[in-house]
Amino acid sequence: MSEKIDAHTSGADSASVSRVTSRANSKVSSLNTSRDSSREAEYLKKAAKDSSPESKKQAFIVRTIWSLVMIVFFFAVLAAGHIWVIALVGLVQILTFKEVINLASEPASEKKLPWVRSLNWYFLATTIYFLEGENIIRFIKQNNSDLENTLNTLFLHHRFLSYCLYILGFVFFVASLEKNHYRFQFTQFCLTHMTLLFGVVQAHFIVNNIFQGLFWFFVPAGLVISNDIFAYLCGITFGKHQLIAISPKKTVEGFLGAWICTIIWGVIFSVFLYRFDYFICPVEDMGTNLFSNLTCVPNPVFMPKEYPIPTEFLRQLTHKTTFSAAPIHFHVGILASFASLVAPFGGFFASGLKRAFQVKDFGDTIPGHGGITDRMDCQFLMGFFSYLYYETFVSNHVSKVETLLNTLMFTFTRQQQEEFVRQFFEWAKNEGLLTGFCAVLE
């Protein structure tokens, strides 16, 4: 009998626990639904307000004014020099990160878990340290020899230290998970890492493009901007068929028309731009600006070459068998194709993300345009592709003296440095280089 009573009591307790759990889950679900409904209502209210004729006119004026402001600002930064362009990319990284993680902002949860936002920024800091730490260490060592031993240690173990810093944040995140806040915490964690991958990491390669010459930063960025303009013009002129559901205003005609126009514009743009050493020369001095009279030996892709005219009809039409063109024009055509056919999907991805969180824009940093992310969503994909394309098909892969010296100073022991110097002088003596070197010293 007692066993039956115990079984009955145990069953009642289980049923009670089940009901409590069910109520709790229902309450959490209700809160989430209420929060989503509130966001949706706010989104629809804002969309309705912005659709009135007066609002559209005002938005167009504001958008035009701030477009001109951004153009002037961009060219001013471009003229100021490579270091300022790099600083601009760094600022865009940080602002983009801030805007995306704010998508999942929940003030009530953040008040109870104030460290969540700090952890997001910690992951950003560790990622930037991993990507840029070695360059920063080199720069500090060149300007402060008193910290040589410490800097050498940091340089040699940079990747391991970066990993340890990341794992420290990961362990803290897992250890700090709290009941009733799992969804918020994991949403923040996933958004943070998505932004680090799609924004911060790809922006690092945009910085590498700047070091190869401003041409490889300016042209890809300009192609994305011009493609956006051509897509709009071709869309409103010829557009009839919707391209993709996530962005209803985009049309197939606008998409393809912009591709053709962007290639033509890109070639014309490169014909003008590659004539200036300031744009095609790699970075040697970070203090260089537009007025520094920068000169260099151009990469062969900027030098005109003779190409055969492909068909008999064209040869008879032009009365020539060959034509002269710089290879860079063909490379720009490929970059323009990527900017037209692939980079826009970065914008479509961003549109889907905004719809998932029921917001119109990522922010209001730029009046009339929304947030920084709204303007940069295609640029990250384009910048990364440009870096890979340059390294694969354009770069000479010639090591710089500065790179060799950094390797010698940071990765060689004193004994290895002495052995390197001994063998180098022996080789230079056999090649007859020391005679000319001694003459220069005299």
Tell me, yes or no, whether 192 lies in a domain: no
Tell me, yes or no, whether 45 lies in a domain: yes
Mean pLDDT lowest among 6-10, 35-39, 191-195, 245-249: 6-10
Instruction: State what percent of residues in the chain have pLDDT above 70.
Output: 82
Tell me, yes or no, whether 18 lies in a domain: yes
pLDDT of residue 20: 43
Structure token pair of residue 96: 């983009």
Dihedral sign (CA 341, 344, 348, 349): positive
Confidence bin at 366 (pLDDT 50/70/90): confident
Mean pLDDT lowest among 37-46, 136-145, 289-298: 37-46
Q: What is the CA radius of gyration of the chain?
A: 29
Instruction: State what percent of residues in the chain have pLDDT above 90.
Output: 46
pLDDT exceeds 50 at position 440: no
pLDDT of residue 349: 93
Query: How many structural domains is the chain composed of?
Result: 1
Tell me, yes or no, whether 299 lies in a domain: no
pLDDT of residue 63: 82
Tell me, yes or no, whether 43 lies in a domain: yes
Higher pLDDT, 25 or 317: 317
Confidence bin at 193 (pLDDT 50/70/90): very high
Confidence bin at 92 (pLDDT 50/70/90): very high
Average pLDDT, integer, range 255-260: 96
Contact 77, 88 (CB under 8 A): yes
Mean pLDDT lowest among 30-39, 177-186, 295-304: 30-39
Tell me, yes or no, whether 181 lies in a domain: no
Dihedral sign (CA 77, 80, 84, 89): positive
pLDDT per position as a tens digit, 157-188: 899 999 999 999 999 999 999 888 889 899 99
Mean pLDDT lowest among 14-23, 199-208, 301-310, 318-327: 14-23
Q: Beta-carbon neighbour count of residue 64 at 10 Å? A: 11
Residue 25 burial by CB count (10 A; 0-12/13-18/19+): exposed, middle or buried?
A: exposed
Half-sphere exposure of 377 (CA within 13 A, CB side): 23
pLDDT per position as a tens digit, 400-431: 666 677 677 666 777 887 888 888 888 887 87
Tell me, yes or no, whether 30 lies in a domain: yes
Tell me, yes or no, whether 406 lies in a domain: no
pLDDT exceeds 90 at position 345: yes
Higher pLDDT, 43 or 207: 207
pLDDT of residue 418: 80
What is the pLDDT of the chain when averaged over all its residues? 83
Average pLDDT, integer, range 37-45: 52
Confidence bin at 26 (pLDDT 50/70/90): low
Average pLDDT, integer, range 14-23: 49
pLDDT exceeds 90 at position 217: yes
Average pLDDT, integer, range 98-109: 83
Backbone angles phi, psi at 249, to 5 degrees: -80, -10
* Domain interval for residue 6: 1-51
Compute the distance between CA of residue 89 and CA of residue 111 in angstroms, rounded to an integer: 32
pLDDT exceeds 60 at position 29: no
Residue 341 burial by CB count (10 A; 0-12/13-18/19+): exposed, middle or buried?
A: middle
Backbone angles phi, psi at 325, to 5 degrees: -160, 150
Confidence bin at 1 (pLDDT 50/70/90): very low
Average pLDDT, integer, range 324-353: 94
pLDDT exceeds 50 at position 220: yes
Helix (H) or strand (E) holding 249: strand 247-251
Compute the distance between CA of residue 212 and CA of residue 219 in angstroms, rounded to an integer: 13
